[in-house]
Structure 1
Amino acid sequence: MKKEFAVIGLGRFGGSICKALSEEGMEVLAIDKDEDKVNEFANIAFHPVVGDSTDEMVLKSLGIRNFDHVIVAIGDNIQASILTTLILKELGVKKITVKAQNDYHEKVLSKIGADHIVHPERDMGKRIAHNIISNNVLDYLELSDEHSIVEIVASDQLAGNTLIELDIRANYGINIVAIKRGREIIVSPQAEDPIQKEDILIVIGADSDIHRFEKRVL
């Protein structure tokens, strides 16, 4: 079955999510108070609507509780973001993702029951900084405050060695969960598999262990 999503707030963040979901063939309800913004998504979203998400009757009339996932992407109005999230929870929405402006905003959203909270600007800043620091790091995804998944290009020092020879898990406390080799993706690589130069290693672990691994072998 095709999932139904609702995106509340069509700024840069909400708009990009709306477009990406629509391109994946998902049915998206796009809501914003600004009619001009809604009109921009007239040919993108399945159902673009001008409406005030802080008005419970508006959300009820749209059948918001029937959507599989609601994304609250309200830009700079923290009060509207919090009130919208609270109403969604009270209406029984299954899953709610909310964009947080700062740590205080995140704390409030956590207390009122947001299922997932994102900091797009902060998270993107961390990813870019991480990539700048190490030429071998292609991408960086934060799983928590202390754990991440990182894409690392295999160095000359790693090439030719098998995973069992490197014993990365024992030496560094991290796991290589997959290897990208050209168009091929090797999931759960075998201990006897040799690493080739330019392989992209998908590494998961604590940030401190990943950094230690980067410094010693890259």
Structure 2
Amino acid sequence: MKREFAVIGLGRFGGSICRELSEEGMDVLAIDADEDKIDEFKDIAAHAVIADTTDDKVLKELGIRNIEHVIVAIGDNIQASILTTIMLKELGIKTLTVKAQNDYHEKVLKKIGADYVVHPERDMGRRIAHSIISTNILDHLELSDDHSIVEVKAGKRMDGKTLVDLDIRAQYGCNIVAIKEADEKGINVSPMATQTIEADDILIVIGADKDISRFEKQLVVED
């Protein structure tokens, strides 16, 4: 079943979302004030429209209130981002994801009702930093300001030990929610405490950032 989305702002971030959603078969309304951007996406999105989204009359004419999820990816114009978010909330948009330029912008967006606030540049920087620090850290997904999920490769310190032996939850405050064994294609979700971990198994770990950092330094990162 096709879902309907609107992407406002077709820069690198918004344009990437528009492309991916469209490739997944979603019905996307692409909106930007720049005619060149609309020309670029007119054959990608289901609909591509030049519009000023800080004007509530324009938003109503576009019928955007009928779209369940709107992504506001406006670039450097923080005022336009905030005004657009306010207009969309007043129109009763069910789900609203907004790109923030900085922490202050994020605070304002949350206060005016944005459902999800994202920092694409900051989040990507953190993921790259984690991968640089340790070759065992395969991926990092931020859940909130203080909690994350990381994908790590088990090293020699874990080899041949069970989850009971490692006692990760008690020792580090983290939880291993899934294990992908090195020689298997499947993923063992909610592994038993008696499961033995082998070197190069992939562990999906969830927890507070400070606990995950301690877990990485003391148990994952190789000397």
State the TM-score bracket (shorter-chain normalisation).
Answer: over 0.9
Q: Between the two proteins, what is the percent identity of the paired residues?
A: 72
CA deviation after TM superposition for structure 1 residue 183, in Å: 2.4
Aligned mates of 1:112, 1:162 — CA distance in 2: 47
Aligned mates of 1:192, 1:43 — CA distance in 2: 54
2:25 counterpart of 1:25:
yes
Aligned mates of 2:218, 2:103 — CA distance in 1: 34
Match of 1:45 in 2: 45
What secondary structure, in the 3-state scheme, does the structure 1 residue paired with 2:125 have? Answer: helix
CA deviation after TM superposition for structure 1 residue 36, in Å: 1.0
Structure 2 residue identity aligned to 1:82: I
Cα RMSD after superposing both structures: 1.1
2:117 counterpart of 1:117:
yes
Aligned mates of 2:69, 2:207 — CA distance in 1: 29
Match of 1:159 in 2: 159
Aligned mates of 2:100, 2:73 — CA distance in 1: 8
Aligned mates of 1:111, 1:156 — CA distance in 2: 47
Worse-superposed segment, 64-73 or 189-198: 189-198
Match of 1:130 in 2: 130
Match of 2:68 in 1: 68
CA deviation after TM superposition for structure 1 residue 213, in Å: 1.2
Match of 2:56 in 1: 56
Structure 2 residue identity aligned to 1:55: D
The residue correspondences of 1:1-218 to structure 2 (distance < 5 A) are: 1-181=1-181, 182-218=184-220
Aligned mates of 2:119, 2:216 — CA distance in 1: 26
Deviations 1:75-123 (A, max 9, x none): 0111111110010011111111110111221121112111111111111
What secondary structure, in the 3-state scheme, does the structure 1 residue paired with 2:161 have? Answer: coil
TM-score by length of 2: 0.94
- The runs of at least 4 consecutive aligned structure 1 residues that moved more than 3 Å come to none
Structure 2 residue identity aligned to 1:168: I
Worse-superposed segment, 179-188 or 114-123: 179-188
Deviations 1:148-201 (A, max 9, x none): 100110001112111122111111111000112342111111112111221110
What secondary structure, in the 3-state scheme, does the structure 2 residue paired with 1:114 have? Answer: coil
Aligned mates of 2:206, 2:148 — CA distance in 1: 6
TM-score by length of 1: 0.96
Aligned mates of 2:187, 2:97 — CA distance in 1: 30
Aligned mates of 1:141, 1:149 — CA distance in 2: 5
Aligned mates of 1:33, 1:211 — CA distance in 2: 43
Give unmatched runs, 5+ long, in structure 1.
Answer: none
Aligned mates of 2:218, 2:104 — CA distance in 1: 38
Deviations 1:13-39 (A, max 9, x none): 000000111111111100001111111
What secondary structure, in the 3-state scheme, does the structure 2 residue paired with 1:52 have? Answer: coil
